[in-house]
Structure 1
């Protein structure tokens, strides 16, 4: 099958859609498909204006304009992309949508106008903009023209359904993870683990962009509230990985509340560095409210960490409350749950053992097979 993946954002930008679309392309290619990517993101050397760049063996059509801040926007792209899709012999077009995706939205109409089987996946929560999306009618119109609709989690799919029409089928096509890469190594036996002395403190870890939408300040507020609930003799340490415009505000919070002796903000980390820290930590915390999926939380869960997250996000697709972590209704509930996990070693170890021994359902093999099913549902052969 020849597959065109269309996305506003792609590598070298780093984010959920960018990394997931790249990894999906690689997995589909490994399963025998030919994959090409069309994006409004310039290349690492500034490639744009339709230049085709090879990225990890995948042809990437860089349909980017020269814009301030390298914005992934190109209203001039549709005629050229139409020409390339027509002559390219593609069997299916797969569009990846965020909250604002002008490039992919334009190209959905292009693909459907060419009569190509078209699958559309949303990587966002639409609730806050539901009235706007419903008024625009894009999703409903695309479905009426034959596109198949999906989203990365159950809650995201429900919101797409509310916008597009309750009678429409909106499947869940989750993000994927390389389970073997993230699964914790079996370094010690159960007997050795039981005999090992407890660490002097419980290590809590969080990783995110330091942007308001991700709520990094809430991480500090939650751990501070949990610290007040934990007996003074019980040690606790937070590693908050990431960087961004909120960093100075976060540092001021740490300094103002005298948290520097038990909170560290090491900056950005590679996947390999994060994985190593997850393997050496005890709890993962994410307070995000607008989380359609939560790939960082899935990585932590696969690495064996109990996950603390809000119950009204996509994290609930792979974290069952009390089994893989604890899901809270609000920040206060997360603080109380964190205090429980810090003080209850037996509960913490039970959840960690469950996560280390039972892999999540979102392995890349399973996700690639679901993508192929979506392509067949769209009419690809």
Structure 2
């Protein structure tokens, strides 16, 4: 099958959608499919204007314009993309939608216009942009024109149903993970005398709530007995870094909180294996790739209820799902102190893979492509 993956963002940009679309392309190729990526992200050396290159074995069409801040937007791209889709003999087009995805929106219209079976996957919760989606009617129109709709988690699928209206079939098409790469060599046991290590990893953007990580950790520190030590490593980069640094300085957290910046996936995996707990207070988490990686690495995960994390973290089994930040801080304090419970959860997570292995996800992806081909 010849597959076109269409996404605003792609490597060399780093983020959840970028990495997942890259990994999906790699996994599809490993199953014998022919895959091209169309993106509005320029290449490493500024390649754009329809430039075609091969990245990690996948053909990538760089449909980017020269714009401030390298914005992944190109309203001039649809005619050329339609031509390439029409002449390329594609069997299916798979569009990946983010929070604001002008390029992907145009790509969905382009694929449907040339009659390519089209699958559209949302990687975000659309609650805040629901009025805009309902007003423009894009999702309803795509559904009427034959596109099949999916989302990366159950909560996201429900969100998409709300913008389409009626009772459309919105499949759950989760992000995938290479379990063998992330599973730990052995369950983590905190060495005697060492502080409990708490980790978090995210883009330092306001919607991810990185400052709330420090707030929750500070509240937990006030609950935990003074003779029980724990540390926090918050990894990532972004516009909220200065706020994080100011908050940590204002609350005298420098002795136990570190902000090491963005790390490679190999370094992130190593840090997970050497840590004890993973914390994410995000409220608008459609899926939570970093949390899934932490869960697969054997870490008990502490997260908010009502997010996509609930698709792979069962409360009390793989970690704790809390209704608000105060409850999250109490749960963090409890697990820092309760060595036995922490070890029990870690052992279960380390020896029980999540259901989002790539082999299982690819079965769902291929079924979605067949569903797209079957719709008139």
Between the aligned partners of 1:65 and 1:304, the Cα distance in structure 2 is 42
2:260 to 266, 271, 279: 266
CA contact (8 A) 1:282 1:306 kept: yes
Q: Which deviates more, 251-260 or 307-316?
A: 251-260
What TM-score, normalized by structure 1, do the two folds share?
Answer: 0.96
* Partner of residue 120, structure 1: 120
Q: Is the 8 A contact 2:187 2:347 kept in 1?
A: no
Q: Check whether the contact 1:91–1:380 (CA below 8 A) recurs between aligned residues.
A: no
How many angstroms does 1:187 deviate by?
8.1
Post-superposition Cα deviations, 1:296-339, rounded to whole Å, max 9, x if no partner, equal: 00000000000000011111110000000000111001000001
Secondary structure of residue in 2 paired with 1:24: helix
Q: Is the deviation greater in 255-264 or in 319-328?
A: 255-264
Mapped pair 1:304 → 2:304: no
Query: C-alpha displacement at 1:198, in angstroms?
Result: 2.5
Aligned to 1:30: 30
Helix, strand or coil at the partner of 2:128: helix
Contact 1:92 1:380 in 2 (8 A): no
**TM superposition shift of 1:94:** 0.3
Whether 1:286 aligns to 2:280 is yes
RMSD of aligned residue pairs (Cα, Å): 1.4
Cα pair 1:8 1:103 within 8 Å, conserved: yes
- Report the Cα offset of residue 200 of structure 1: 2.8
8 A contact 2:186–2:350 mirrored in 1: no
Work out the number of aligned pairs and report it: 375
Between the aligned partners of 1:186 and 1:197, the Cα distance in structure 2 is: 14
CA distances 1:108-139 after superposition (whole Å, capped 9, x unpaired): 11111111110000000011111221121111
SS of structure 1 residue aligned to 2:283: coil
Distance 1:341 1:368 in 2: 35
Distance 1:377 1:142 in 2: 15
Farther off after superposition, 326-335 or 249-258: 249-258
C-alpha distance after superposition, 1:265-311 (max 9, x if no partner): 11111111111111011000001111100000000000000000001
Q: Residue in 2 aligned with 1:48?
A: 48
How far does the alpha carbon of each residue in 1:148-192 deviate from its partner, in whole angstroms, 9 at most, with x for none?
00000000000000111231000000001110000001389xxxx
Structure 2 CA distance, aligned partners of 1:76 and 1:199?
61
Q: TM-score, normalised by structure 2?
A: 0.97
The partner residue of 1:350 within 344, 348, 353 is: 344
Q: Which runs of 4+ in 1 moved over 6 A?
A: none
Which range is displaced more, 318-327 or 242-251?
A: 242-251
TM-superposed deviation, 1:85:
0.4
For residues 166 and 221 of structure 2, what CA distance do their matches in structure 1 show? 44
Q: C-alpha distance in 2, partners of 1:65/1:264?
A: 38
